[in-house]
Chain A
Amino acid sequence: DVKVTQSSRYLVKRTGEKVFLECVQDMDHENMFWYRQDPGLGLRLIYFSYDVKMKEKGDIPEGYSVSREKKERFSLILESASTNQTSMYLCASSFLAGGPDTQYFGPGTRLTVL
């Protein structure tokens, strides 16, 4: 079974703090994704990565950055957290490098920024 793990289930941070969300997958998947989930808006793609050190912006990248130094690990960084970044963050991975494939999701990190 594919396993995608996220470093924290719940996180509380203060405005202006630098926040790191970590995601690890154990199936040698090529692609990794970061989404945020808000009620009524579904999942919105923040960033994705299709190879080590390769990344592309998704639909809502503002205020976020990412890092992928190793194939299995994909980090989401909030450079200076703000209250409007309070949300559920979901990480996912998929295998095929060039096309559509099932995305496997982690359990999510619920981030609250005070």
Chain B
Amino acid sequence: AQSVTQPDIHITVSEGASLELRCNYSYGATPYLFWYVQSPGQGLQLLLKYFSGDTLVQGIKGFEAEFKRSQSSFNLRKPSVHWSDAAEYFCAVGSGTSYGKLTFGQGTILTVHP
């Protein structure tokens, strides 16, 4: 069975600082990987996804993520955080079958200090 671990429950950074959110997955075949963001009181919005090809993926709002098969990781990065990035971030993994089901991590809450 596939699983996702986000080791950091809560991260605090200062505005303008760089950010890295960690995601480790467990899956036997080629994974399909996603990062979503949830602002307070909202649904989830897709930031970026990896299906194949270039292992460095660019997303919206200046985010990027790197797929590292050897480390079973898909960490999310941003070089300079803005106060509006404060939200909860979810990593998810899907398979090539199972009707597009996704397995989500526990989420990382990001707080941004001015």
Contacts and interface: CB of A to CB of B under 8 A. Distances in A.
Interface stretch (A14-22, A40-48, A64-72, A77-85): A40-48
In the complex, which range does the number of interface residues on chain A fall in?
20 to 34
A33 B32 CA distance: 18
A94 B42 CA distance: 18
Contacts of A40: 9, 106-107
Contact of A105 (B6, B41, B44, B96): B44
Contacts, number: 66
B55 interface: no
A44 B105 CA distance: 9
B99 A102 contact: no
Query: Which of the listed residues B6, B32, B41, B44 has the most CB atoms from chain A within 10 Å of its own CB?
Result: B44
A31 interface: yes
Interface string B83-106: 000000010001111011111111
Interface in B56-105: 90, 94-97, 99-105
